[in-house]
Every structure is written in structure tokens, then in C-alpha cells.
Amino acid sequence: MESLTVETTQNVDIEFQLASVGDRIIAYFLDGFFTVCYVLLLVLILGVSGDSFNWIFMLLMLPVLFYHLLCEMFFNGQSLGKMIMKLRVVKKDGSELTFGACFIRWLFRLVDIALSQGLVALLTIVITGKGQRVGDLAASTTVLKMDGKSHLSDTIYIDLKDDYVPVYPEVQKLSDSDMQTIKEVLLVASKDSSYTSIGAPHPLVIKTKEVVLKKMGVETKMSGKDLLNTLLKDYNYYHK
């Protein structure tokens, strides 16, 4: 199984399992099946024939046109087919998947899939070796297999509970790069047994706490580890 390794600013390599071409093709056909079922259902309900024009039918066909854009935007990088195959579109740097990135991927489907019957997408994915079709290259995204050894928990993305209440609104002063550094520091600290074994705070955690508090302009008695984990949650809350 192909993988994508990202070298972080703390010289920590994070390995992601890329979605295979086969899985992506199956997800594509599953999405096609769902959209065809939707169209057939519309025809059955509205009784629209190929020779007649029905503006209600045309209006209800818009979700088919924007299917992939809407799904990836509102279902966090997943269409129905990708959900079944456990695939997800993510930004290569681990930052939040934006509407702009989803729109670029959707727009390039015309070149990658529609006009070339998927040949351009297939060739590009194979040639790049990073699970990227032309749309992914343009949007700086890739597609991951979510049951692999690395997950989105290795990025700044954190799945929050619906009733989560943020603690530090000042976290909005920090950037994606700051949050990636925080995640990397926590990762390094958790792997350093010389500190975890005695329960002492890691120097990197202490220093990072000082830096982010200064950037945000706040004070706290919260421990460094708890603070950094809280900031990750708060940042995801404000950028969901």
C-alpha cells in the first residue's frame, strides 16, 4: 500500500496511508450509482420524459451537478462512496480542508474524469505517486485511506463533540502553522520516555506554552500539556 510521508518542522516524519487507485475507482462508481438512483427517483416522482422540459426537474438536478463539491465540503472531505470505502480528501499539510480546495477539485473533475473518462486522473495518480490527480495537485490535497496506521489525528484536525465549549477565544490569533507545531511538540513529548516515565513536563512543551501564551496575550495556570491540547480543540472549534 502506497504511503505519503510528511516531514514536519520538528523533523518528525508522519506517514499516511494513501487511498489505492482501486478504492478510488470503486468509490467513484458507488457515487455514480447513488446519483443515478437519485435521477431515476426524480423521473419516477415527477414523470419527466426526455422530450419535455420541466424546470422543477432541472432545479432538482442541481445536487447531481454539485454532488462532489457539496459532499466534500459538508461531510469533511467525503462523498457517500468515499464513506463506504473509508476514504477522505485532506490537505497535504494537515490544515483544514477549505471550500476553495473543494471547489478546485470539483472544477478539475471536468479535465480529470469527465472529458478523459478518468484517464487523466488515473495517469496523474500513478505518475505523481502521492495519490494526486490534477485537481489534487491544484488544490494541494490528496486522498487517504482512513483505516490505515495513520489518521487525521496526526494532523491539526480534531473531531469535537457537538457540545464542546472553547476555553481560549484568543486562539484565533494563532495560525495553522502554529497549531501544526503544537501538535508536533505534543507528539515528540509523548515519545520521549526520559520525561514521560518520571511524569516531568517536557522542555519543548514548556517553551511552546510560553510562546503561544505570549502570542495570544493571556495567562493561565493550566499545565503545558493540557493547555496545548485545549488550544488544538479550540482552534478546530473556531475553524470548523
CA–CA separation, 199 vs 193, rounded Å?
9
Q: Which residue type, as a one-letter code, is found at position 237?
A: Y
pLDDT tier, 4 (very low <50, low <70, confident <90, very high otherwise) = low
Mean per-residue pLDDT over the chain, rounded: 81
More confident residue, 87 or 43: 87
CA–CA separation, 214 vs 74, rounded Å?
35
CA distance to 76, 166, 168, 235, 238, per residue, from 160 (Å): 13, 10, 15, 11, 11
Q: Looking at the predicted structure, is the pLDDT value of residue 42 above 70?
A: yes
Q: Looking at the predicted structure, is the pLDDT value of residue 108 above 90?
A: yes
SS3 of 143, please? strand
- Ordered by start, the domain boundaries in the chain are 3-154, 169-238
What's the mean pLDDT in 132-145? 91
Tell me the per-residue pLDDT of 152-194, one tens digit each, with 9 for 90 and over: 445 666 768 888 999 999 999 988 778 878 887 888 777 766 6
